[in-house]
A and B are shown apart, each in its own frame.
Chain A
Amino acid sequence: MQPPLFELRDVTLSRAGTVVLRDVSSDIPEGAVCIAGPSGSGKSSLLRLLDRLRDPDRGEVRYRGRDVRTYDVLALRRAVSLVPQLPALVEGTVADNVEFAARLAGRSPDVGRVLGQAGLDASFADRDAERLSVGEQQRVMLARSLAQEPDVLLLDEPTSALDEEARESVERTLLRLRRELDLSYVLVTHDPDQAARMSDWCLRLALGGTVTGAGPLAAPEAARA
């Protein structure tokens, strides 16, 4: 039997003396998964445990049946690629950013194709990354991750800084990637409607970082379409 994508076992995490996750235990399956809960429930911190940007104070995190600490941490982060809440690109053009990410993973990217997967026209390649709109920058962040050909995308509220139109567009892109590339993603959101639209399984956290529920949802809208 295939192990779950991720397993969390009695995970506790503190930051600056405050407990942000308390005894969290749950499996996270493959597919379109969300971690939902109010602000301050430890969603983003939990996401960072999955690619070892943080380590828990106590407990164990497993990826495909193995403790994440037994993987080469850099290889793990290229396989389990996190897209942060706000764009944070390196200086240079859009192509520089995509190529930088690809080189880290030992890939030679087709920049135009990767931009297309992230919903950007190939003409963006030569544009200065810092001069793009927030929505466009967020798509470049997604393109960087896709250039590494990851197994899993970790998405930390990727639409929270976007307007309605840009949010819908990014959501459509993610659902298309899920369908076309069979790419699993773990999406952090505080919006229950987005959780319903974007995921077929959800882990719910409450303030104080405790689990209030975990289980399947109805299939995401685009998957149903």
Chain B
Amino acid sequence: MTAPIDVSYAQLAATLALVAIAIAVSIWVHVDLERDIAVAVARSFIQLSAVGLVINVIFDEDRLVLVVALITAMVLFGALTARNRARRVPAAFAPLLVALAAAGGLTLVLVVALGVFEPEPRFLVPVGGMVVGNAMTAAAVALNRLGDDMRAAAPRIEATLALGATAAQAALPVVRSSLRSGMISLVDSTKTTGLIFFPGTMVGMLLAGADPVDAVRLQLVLLYTLLGSVAIAALIATSLAYRNFFTPAHQLKDLPA
């Protein structure tokens, strides 16, 4: 077995050649993305370097309270980011915040309770980060769809309310399709994993010199964990957010187009 991988800044700088290709393509084909690419490269370097330092401190301190603080901050920023993608849902921040907090919290408690991971920062920080990130994407996609479909289905929803259905009964078909939209991407990528792409954790472990069977096993643990957390996030986000389209008297609110 080889030693764990040690990436130097020179090697990191060398990968900028591939970034240069992306910028060249953008300029050549006039897709007008070169500025965004430069910003993305700079932000990813600064953000990941900063979080690397933070994680270093958390690992050195080895205190669970710092893990909780880090995950809380990620949940907060995740909910703010997802809100921007769910602009057509009134007051989407609160449902997103609850959804991400529940997905992150419940998933970490479950993986520890089931004995999948030890309750130590070196496990909980990376797993928590993946869980919150995937939960954010799923919740954002689900609420984006919810915002569009509630408007498109407004006549049908109002017709159902007119029969004396509750807001929950009237919105159920839309909530169901939004939930499906939030979950389908991870379900599909889980189906095709190993066939048409290698997932990130497995690639990282292989590069770091781990045994391929160990890498696969850990990757599967994470994929199955993510399936659960994404389902929790999308379910809570849609179940809370649809209510913001209705008044307490089961009336569909007037919405801006």
Contacts and interface: CB of A to CB of B under 8 A. Distances in A.
Interface of A: 15-16, 51-55, 73-78, 81-84, 86, 88-91, 100-101, 104-105, 141, 144-145, 148
B162 A54 contact: no
B254 A16 contact: yes
24 contacts: A15-B254, A16-B254, A16-B256, A52-B249, A53-B251, A53-B252, A55-B251, A73-B249, A74-B166, A77-B161, A78-B163, A81-B162, A82-B162, A84-B155, A84-B159, A84-B162, A88-B156, A88-B159, A90-B160, A104-B163, A104-B165, A105-B164, A144-B163, A145-B163
Given A52-B251, A101-B163, A104-B165, 6 more contacts: A53-B161, A74-B164, A77-B162, A82-B162, A88-B160, A148-B164
B119 interface: no
Interface in B225-257: 247, 249-252, 254, 256
Contacts of A53: 158, 161-162, 251-252
Interface in B115-158: 155-156, 158
Given A15-B254, A55-B249, A90-B173, A78 B164 contact: yes
Contacts of B156: 88-90
Interface of B: 155-156, 158-166, 169, 173, 247, 249-252, 254, 256
A77 B163 contact: yes
A82 B162 CA distance: 6
A111 B161 CA distance: 21
Contacts of B251: 52-55
Contacts of A51: 162
A76 to B, nearest CB: 8
A52 B246 CA distance: 13
Contacts of A148: 163-164
Nearest to A51: B162
Contacts of A101: 163
A100 B156 CA distance: 14
Contacts of A83: 162
Contacts of B165: 74, 104
A155 B162 CA distance: 11
Contacts of B159: 82, 84, 88-89, 141
Contacts of B247: 55
B89 to A, nearest CB: 18
A91 B174 CA distance: 12
Contacts of B163: 77-78, 81, 100-101, 104-105, 144-145, 148
Nearest to A85: B155
Contacts of A84: 155, 158-159, 162
The 8 closest A-B pairs by CB, nearest first: A78-B164, A88-B159, A82-B162, A88-B156, A77-B164, A88-B155, A74-B164, A101-B163
A215 B125 CA distance: 74
A99 B206 CA distance: 58
Contacts of A144: 163
A81 B251 CA distance: 15
A81 B164 CA distance: 8
A74 B250 contact: yes
A76 B256 CA distance: 28
A74 B173 CA distance: 19
A15 to B, nearest CB: 6
